[in-house]
Amino acid sequence: MEVTDAAVVAQVLAGDRDAFRVLVDRHSRSIFRVVYRMTGNQQDTEELVQETFLRAYKSLERFELRANFSTWLYRIAVNRTLDFLTARKTHMQTKDTYQIVDNPDAEDSAQIQLPAQGPGPDRLVLSAEMKQKIAGALGLLTPAERVAFTMRHMEGRSIEEISQTLNLKASAAKNSVFRAVQKLRQQLEPYAGPGTSSRGARWSGSAMK
């Protein structure tokens, strides 16, 4: 029988610190994915995964045993990442902006490929160059915009989930998503030349003629 997360939490609270490892084994990879999408940096992500679990452990008494552990952990991870991005922004304002673009290490370029589930009919196969431009544009967003955009766009989370996770009003969550897209357009639309076989390129092309 697979032991539930809640049962493991109870075990840890009863004094079995090592039982916490089960939760690390179960959830660290998914937390890694969540955080990586928001930071775009492997090393920062690994540290944030640790910080997330440390914080979860320390506040384990506040976890409602009836609640879903992964949702709870996810919220900690997102908020921890938001704090981290905010702190980084204030400490290294100018350098930070281009950090992601400057960091295309070997592992990253190996990842420039189609998503595992295969491209949908509308998916475009992007060049490595375009991927870097996207990463650079994402780096220009404010931490809140980046987090909200990642949740809505990449994870398909609802506005309600975003506002609950970040403790925002729904209107503020929507606004963060919108401002993120607005900035991304400013950065990325100049690159969408006639070569891109998108409907948007055709529309803009015909408008100019």
Partner 1 sequence: MNHLSEEQIVLHYYGDAEEATEVERHLAACAECRAEFARVQSMLRQIEPLEVPEPAAGFEEKTWLNLHDRLPEKGSLLRRLFRPSPPKWAFAGVMALLLAAAFLAGRFWPRPGQQVAQQPPSQVNPQRVVLVAVGDHLERSQMLLVEIMNADTKGPINFSSEQAEARELLDSNHLYRVSSQQAGDPQVARLLDQLGRVLAEIANGPAEVSPEDLEQVRHAIQSEGLLFKVRVVGSEVNSRVRRPEPSGSGVNQRL
Residues in 17-76 at the binding interface with partner 1, rule: CB under 8 A: 17, 20-21, 24-25, 28-29, 32-33, 36-37, 42, 46, 49-50, 53-54, 57-58, 60, 65-66
Using the contact rule CB under 8 A, the part of the chain among 79-87, 93-101, 104-112, 140-148 near partner 1 is: 104-112
Using the contact rule CB under 8 A, the part of the chain among 80-88, 91-99, 125-133, 139-147 near partner 1 is: 125-133
In the complex, what is the shortest distance from the CB of residue 23 to partner 1, in angstroms, rounded to a whole number?
10
In the complex, what is the shortest distance from the CB of residue 175 to partner 1, in angstroms, rounded to a whole number?
8
Smaller CB separation from partner 1, 90 or 102: 102
Residue 86 to residue 160: CA distance in whole angstroms = 23
Q: Which of residues 170-189 bind partner 1 (CB under 8 A)?
A: 174-175, 177-178, 181-182, 184-185, 188-189
Q: Which of residues 145-164 bind partner 1 (CB under 8 A)?
A: 152-154, 159
CB under 8 Å to 27, separation ≥6 — which residues? 69, 70, 73
In the complex, what is the shortest distance from the CB of residue 202 to partner 1, in angstroms, rounded to a whole number?
8
Binding to partner 1 by residue 111, rule CB under 8 A? Answer: yes
